[in-house]
Every structure is written in C-alpha cells, then in structure tokens.
Amino acid sequence: MRNVNELCGARRLPMLVDMATTAQVSRGARAVFGRPCQASRIALLGASPVDKVLANFILGINKLPCPTRFFTSRDDAMAWLLKEPAATA
C-alpha cells in the first residue's frame, strides 16, 4: 500500500489487483489491505475458485479503506473501476 500511495501522490486512483499468481493471503497482508490508502476503489481480478476464496478473505475485513469487489472478467473490473463515483449530497 505504501507503493500505491507513492504512485498516486495526492490523487486517489482506482486499482486493479490481478490475483492470478496469488497462492495465499497472510494475516499481515490482510491487515495492510485494510489500511487507508490513495486507491479510490479496488477491483480484485481472479479466475479460479481459489481466487474467489482468497478474495472473500480480503472482502471479509470489517472496514476496507475504499469500495472493493471481486471480478472474473477484466472488462467488467475495468468498467467498474473507471465509472464515475456516485455524487454525494
């Protein structure tokens, strides 16, 4: 997440996480994933049932720093990442 913050600078930007080579998510990684960062929203991209299980661990964190969803389609993930944020009143 430190690298995300460095790349984004002062701007909040969407982030795609390709889970293709992820075999496990450690407790430490889950803790870091829950910290606020400059990502405006995060799309978790996976293809296998293992990816889905790992994504559920991440999505199970009580407070994620931004909207986060799991996708099996890169096109769907990118469309969600790039859509305009909802207006706040």
pLDDT in tens, 45-81: 998 888 888 888 777 766 778 898 999 999 999 999 9
- Quick one: pLDDT at residue 59? 78
Q: What is the dihedral of CA 59, 66, 2, 82, to 10 degrees?
A: 110
Q: What is the pTM of this model?
A: 0.77
Q: Please give, one letter per residue, the 3-state secondary structure of 21-74.
A: CCCCCCHHHHHHHCCCCCEEEEEEECCCHHHHHHHHHHHCCCCCCCCEEEECCH
CATH code for the domain defined by 2-82: 3.40.970.30
Q: What is the pLDDT of the chain when averaged over all its residues? A: 81
